[in-house]
A and B are shown apart, each in its own frame.
Chain A
Amino acid sequence: MIYFVRRFAVFLLTLWAAITLNFIIPRLQPGDPAERIVRRLNPNSRTVDPNQVEAVRKMLGLPDTNIFEQYLQYLQTLVRGEFGVSYSYFPFTVTHMIGQTLPWTLVLGAVTLFIGFVVGTLLGAWAAWRRNGPFDSVTTLGATFLGTLPSFWIALLLLYVCAFKWGWFPVGGGYSGDAQPGWNWAFISSAFEHSVLPAVSILLFAPIGWILGMRNNMVTILGDDYTRLAKAKGLSERRIALWYGARVAVLPNVAGLALAVGGILGGSVVIEQIFSYPGMGRLLFEALRDGDYPLMQTVFLFIIIGVLLADLVADFLYGVLDPRVRRGG
């Protein structure tokens, strides 16, 4: 119990530190954002009209109070969930933009991560159980070889062959224009169709880490004394493989999974960009390109919170799965 309370306290502390850093870093950047926007609006003008700057300042609601008050305001807006207006998608709010893209990323990311984890862990466990056999060699070598290929290249290849050449799947986007977003069949099937290629490109690489991690952990554990003792006990192969081998070997993978869940929020920048998929990764990329600070800051904040939450879940899970951590002296 104390273990869990301590983990939670650590989580709150890191979260506060991250939020505060997120507040400080943009303010360390030189220059005035309002002035920058004015300059971008009139690229040919050499001088900046102070009235224009003041107008933009008002429009964006840029603060003129001191830094401590700003910090307090910042915390209040965070609690209320107000993240301001996006520069590049003006007049849409940041919240609106994230609300638009988050579901796409969440669904694609969660589904591929989960499938990749399950498939990878199972393949790894089976390879370890039949180690040095043909299955092991093929899996391990195959995974290692695939891992050396650049994923964006495979994605481009898939896009070219399956979408352009054969036309099996749409070239990009999240759904076709004639479908109305909502819980209707036309939209869901269209969204599914659009997600196949990005999902396949992710899934080709997703299991590699899990396979290799699981296999190596389990090979070590199968050589340990307690696994040999399980054999001496006359337990069935299944029980030895699952309860003595896989049960212990999966622990680092589970921790890795929880951390990867946190990473979903950031989306897969490269894959989403290649398939023009309307997710968080592409949003982040555009925010970076356009210097859209409020949007960038908020996406980062989401990623930070996601990773920290996942970290917390990983710690809790570890505590449940591994008694050594929970009651360790």
Chain B
Amino acid sequence: MSLLAVDQLDVTYLTRKRPPVQAVRGVSLTIGPGEFVGLVGESGSGKSTLGNATIRLLSRPGEITGGTVSFNGQDITALGEDRLRPMRWRDISTVFQSSMNSLNPVMPIEAQFRDAIQAHSRASNGQVRKRVAELLTMVDIDPSFMRFYPHELSGGMKQRVALALALALEPKFVLLDEPTTGLDVVVQRAILERLRVIQREQEFAVLLISHDLGSVLEFSDRVLVMYAGEIVEEQAAADMLRHPRHPYSRGLLGSYASPTAKTIAITYIPGRPPDLSKPHQGCLFAPRCVDAIPLCRMKAPELLPLGDGLVACHVAKMRAEAGQLPEQQGRSWRTQAAGAVFTKHTVAKDPTGAEDILRFEGVSKLYTRRRGFKTTLVQAVDDVSFVLSKGHVTALVGQSGSGKSTIAKLVTGIERPDSGEISFGDLRVDRLGRRGLRDFRKHIQMVFQDPYSALNPAHTVLSTLMRPLINHKGMSRGQAQSRALELLETVGLTPPERFGQRHPHQLSGGQRQRIVIARALAPEPAIIIADEPISSLDVSIRAEILELLDGLVREQGIAMLYITHDLLSARLLADDIIVLNEGKVVEAGRAEDVIANPQHAYTQLLLRSIPNPFVEETAAD
């Protein structure tokens, strides 16, 4: 018998002002005892809503409007909070998305375990302390940290604490909602690996929700793919990897590739998810689907058994009926992948001929951190040298705290180095005065990580783009306007007139990032610093932005400094890679050389941490 059974579940967000949004529609799923199930989808696919509904933790205005949720054979769909409370944490626990905020800031760690444990048992304080020590040790945290407050722990540690907390009462089912999003790859992998080991030992069931199909496939037994509030495919992880049947799953999988391959092609899914408050007909994915046939636009496909799994797709069904077994399709699906493709070949241009734009020579920066009367020195950047050249991308790769952001600040002149030289042509950036810096900054532009906070929500796209043109280029409003429209076209937002009038909240994440890029292009800079420009975007559109950046750099001869913790995207975009650890360059060279033949242990660690479902496949090649 299944542990958790969801049957034909509907969840609707009812608001007074806007039409109701059916975030989850007719979803059925089961999870057996001890099973590790993954749930994947883009942002807005309804995956978190579904997760919260299964543990009866929906917050208003979300409501279950149809179907049932049963746990251990008991229908809990409409169970009162009083009856639910004894089951919570003892049977069903959870780790939230952004566990950064899921610990009470004014209670020490131990107290947050204690209230959960004592709410469900008669354990004495001494027993609790012993148990907390056990649990913390289990997630590789020293028990002495139980006296600490959440803000005294790093992000990764908080996440481990949240995980240990979820396991405090040995629950039968744990919901993990994006448990590692926002952490850097190395920490992410370490936590998920630890979780998998504990899960095997203690045999609790897990529903892992993530937008990152790569890591879900690696860790789960079975995977559910969700699109626009519906499950579109369900398969065992191994089958999904070998022959994903739904075009959407294929599209998602297309964003992964082995960085060591000679030719790397990653795909993306153009378009954006539908508005679920509007009426619709046919398959919801059809507008973004490359395989769509007329039937798809007329009739919604049902989730039907196909092979060993379930798929909701007319085309996949027809192909299967025509005897086209996925085995026969073989691995060819990856070459005829769903959606557009961004391919990067090993053969890059010869960098020696390119003109140098910015030189960074033997630069060091020491920060003094004051805490009370104690001061500690932090060597943020330690004797770093590199060159940015015209039409080339140089990637700066490292974990958080490796000094990447400090280098960006040094390049823009926000910080001054303690020693070393930074020169832009004949200009010494490290010696510029206030006025000199202002003139220098028109040559250097930034693309930030989070396109949501990088744009002023009160300005239209057009006025956002016109501002730098008027300030830096001294254009009249008329000139600036026509140039802004050209820029929109350059970043692929057509028709530009329509996008120009919009405000940031009317755009998708990918479109916003395009605006941020257009703004960076406006003053025709010599250098663009792109600080994790894709890490907050959905996997399905990352390749799209990379492709845009790549094209711009080559066509317009911009020197780009690409800052990231993700070696795969560095491999795709960059000509040169600099691997940074604790302020020092541990490895540097041509991108393909660094990736194909990593010398330093740290580079190897970063490389291993990339979520890559094709690892085994690559090994077999």
Q: Chain A interface (Cβ within 8 Å of chain B)?
A: 2-3, 6, 223-226, 228-236, 239, 243-244, 247-248, 251, 321-324, 327-329
Q: Digit string of B168-205 for contact with A (CB within 8 Å is 1, else 0)?
A: 00000000000000000000000000000000000000
The residue of chain A having its C-beta at the shortest distance from the C-beta of B113 within the complex is A233
Q: Digit string of B85-111 for contact with A (CB within 8 Å is 1, else 0)?
A: 111111011101011011111111000
Residue of A2, A233, A244, A327 ringed by the most chain B CB atoms within 10 A = A233
Which residues does chain A contribute within 8 Å of B103, judged by CB atoms?
226, 229
How far is B104's CA from A244's CA once the two chains are assembled, in angstroms? 7
B602 within 8 A of A: no
Q: Are A239 and B119 in contact (CB under 8 A)?
A: yes
Residue of A3, A223, A229, A322 ringed by the most chain B CB atoms within 10 A = A229
Q: Are A232 and B373 in contact (CB under 8 A)?
A: no
A229-B96, A329-B371 given; 17 more Cβ-contact pairs under 8 Å: A2-B372, A225-B99, A226-B103, A230-B104, A231-B88, A232-B92, A234-B85, A234-B87, A234-B88, A234-B89, A234-B90, A235-B116, A239-B115, A243-B104, A243-B115, A248-B106, A329-B152
Q: From known contacts A2-B372, A329-B371, infer whether A232 and B106 are also in contact, taking CB-CB under 8 Å.
A: no
B375 within 8 A of A: no
Q: Which of B93, B101, B120, B373 touches A225 (beta carbons < 8 Å)?
A: B101
Which residues between 346 and 400 of chain B lie within 8 Å of chain A, taking CB atoms? 371-373
B59 within 8 A of A: yes
How far is B372's CA from A324's CA once the two chains are assembled, in angstroms? 14
Which residues does chain A contribute within 8 Å of B372, judged by CB atoms?
2-3, 6
Closest beta carbon of chain B to A231's beta carbon, Å: 7
Q: Which of A3, A234, A327 touches B149 (beta carbons < 8 Å)?
A: A327
B331 within 8 A of A: no
Q: Are B373 and A235 in contact (CB under 8 A)?
A: no
How far is B157's CA from A23's CA once the two chains are assembled, in angstroms? 54
Q: Are B85 and A226 in contact (CB under 8 A)?
A: no
Which residues does chain B contribute within 8 Å of A223, judged by CB atoms?
59
Q: From known contacts A223-B59, A225-B98, A324-B151, infer whether A232 and B93 are also in contact, taking CB-CB under 8 Å.
A: yes
Which residues does chain A contribute within 8 Å of B90, judged by CB atoms?
234
How far is B104's CA from A230's CA once the two chains are assembled, in angstroms? 9
Which residues does chain A contribute within 8 Å of B89, judged by CB atoms?
232-234
Residue of B96, B104, B108, B120 ringed by the most chain A CB atoms within 10 A = B104
Q: Digit string of B147-174 for contact with A (CB within 8 Å is 1, else 0)?
A: 0010110000000000000000000000
Q: Are B101 and A226 in contact (CB under 8 A)?
A: yes
How far is B152's CA from A29's CA once the two chains are assembled, in angstroms? 53
27 contacts between A and B (CB under 8 A): A3-B372, A223-B59, A225-B99, A225-B102, A226-B102, A228-B102, A229-B103, A230-B115, A231-B57, A231-B88, A233-B115, A234-B87, A234-B88, A234-B89, A234-B119, A235-B115, A235-B116, A236-B85, A239-B115, A239-B119, A243-B104, A243-B115, A324-B105, A327-B149, A327-B152, A328-B151, A329-B371
Q: Are B101 and A224 in contact (CB under 8 A)?
A: yes
Closest beta carbon of chain B to A149's beta carbon, Å: 31
How far is B371's CA from A90's CA once the two chains are assembled, in angstroms? 54
How far is B56's CA from A231's CA once the two chains are assembled, in angstroms? 10
B567 within 8 A of A: no
Which residues does chain B contribute within 8 Å of A321, judged by CB atoms?
106
Q: Are A243 and B119 in contact (CB under 8 A)?
A: no
Q: Which of A2, A231, A247, A329 touches B373 (beta carbons < 8 Å)?
A: A2
The residue of chain B having its C-beta at the shortest distance from the C-beta of A240 within the complex is B115
B55 within 8 A of A: yes
Q: From known contacts A3-B372, A226-B105, A243-B107, infer whether A323 and B115 are also in contact, taking CB-CB under 8 Å.
A: no
Q: Are A323 and B105 in contact (CB under 8 A)?
A: yes
Q: Digit string of B70-90 for contact with A (CB within 8 Å is 1, else 0)?
A: 000000000000001111111
Closest beta carbon of chain A to B467's beta carbon, Å: 33
Q: Are A236 and B119 in contact (CB under 8 A)?
A: yes
The residue of chain A having its C-beta at the shortest distance from the C-beta of B82 within the complex is A237
Q: Are A229 and B102 in contact (CB under 8 A)?
A: yes
How far is B106's CA from A229's CA once the two chains are assembled, in angstroms? 15
Q: Chain B interface (Cβ within 8 Å of chain A)?
A: 55, 57, 59, 84-90, 92-94, 96, 98-99, 101-108, 115-116, 119-120, 149, 151-152, 371-373
The residue of chain B having its C-beta at the shortest distance from the C-beta of A3 within the complex is B372
How far is B89's CA from A224's CA once the two chains are assembled, in angstroms? 19
Which residues does chain B contribute within 8 Å of A2, judged by CB atoms?
371-373
How far is B105's CA from A6's CA once the two chains are assembled, in angstroms? 23
Which residues does chain A contribute within 8 Å of B151, judged by CB atoms?
323-324, 327-329
Q: Are A232 and B57 in contact (CB under 8 A)?
A: yes
Closest beta carbon of chain A to B380's beta carbon, Å: 16
How far is B55's CA from A234's CA once the two chains are assembled, in angstroms? 11
Q: Are A233 and B116 in contact (CB under 8 A)?
A: yes
Closest beta carbon of chain B to A280's beta carbon, Å: 36
Which residues does chain B contribute within 8 Å of A244, judged by CB atoms?
104
Q: Are A226 and B149 in contact (CB under 8 A)?
A: no
Which residues does chain A contribute within 8 Å of B105, judged by CB atoms?
226, 248, 322-324
The residue of chain B having its C-beta at the shortest distance from the C-beta of A324 within the complex is B151
Q: From known contacts A6-B372, A236-B119, infer whether A323 and B88 are also in contact, taking CB-CB under 8 Å.
A: no
Q: Are A228 and B106 in contact (CB under 8 A)?
A: no
How far is B57's CA from A225's CA once the two chains are assembled, in angstroms? 11
The residue of chain A having its C-beta at the shortest distance from the C-beta of B115 within the complex is A235
Q: From known contacts A223-B59, A236-B85, infer whether A229 and B94 are also in contact, taking CB-CB under 8 Å.
A: yes
How far is B165's CA from A226's CA once the two chains are assembled, in angstroms? 12
Which residues does chain A contribute within 8 Å of B55, judged by CB atoms?
232
Closest beta carbon of chain A to B106's beta carbon, Å: 6
Residue of B89, B102, B120, B152 ringed by the most chain A CB atoms within 10 A = B102
Closest beta carbon of chain A to B572's beta carbon, Å: 34
Closest beta carbon of chain B to A197's beta carbon, Å: 40
Q: Which of A6, A228, A235, A243 touches B96 (beta carbons < 8 Å)?
A: A228
Which residues does chain A contribute within 8 Å of B116, judged by CB atoms?
233-235
Closest beta carbon of chain B to A174's beta carbon, Å: 43
Which residues does chain B contribute within 8 Å of A328, judged by CB atoms?
151
Which residues does chain A contribute within 8 Å of B152, judged by CB atoms?
327, 329
How far is B175's CA from A228's CA once the two chains are assembled, in angstroms? 14
Q: Are A323 and B106 in contact (CB under 8 A)?
A: yes
Closest beta carbon of chain A to B542's beta carbon, Å: 26
Which residues does chain B contribute within 8 Å of A239, judged by CB atoms?
115, 119
Closest beta carbon of chain A to B554's beta carbon, Å: 43
How far is B87's CA from A235's CA once the two chains are assembled, in angstroms? 11
Which residues does chain A contribute within 8 Å of B102, judged by CB atoms?
225-226, 228-229
How far is B104's CA from A251's CA once the two chains are assembled, in angstroms? 14
Which residues does chain A contribute within 8 Å of B108, judged by CB atoms?
323
Which residues does chain A contribute within 8 Å of B107, judged by CB atoms?
243
How far is B372's CA from A6's CA once the two chains are assembled, in angstroms? 8
Q: Are A228 and B119 in contact (CB under 8 A)?
A: no
The residue of chain B having its C-beta at the shortest distance from the C-beta of A247 within the complex is B106
Q: From known contacts A232-B55, A236-B119, infer whether A324 and B149 are also in contact, taking CB-CB under 8 Å.
A: yes
How far is B93's CA from A230's CA once the two chains are assembled, in angstroms? 11
Which residues does chain A contribute within 8 Å of B86, judged by CB atoms?
234
How far is B119's CA from A230's CA once the two chains are assembled, in angstroms? 11
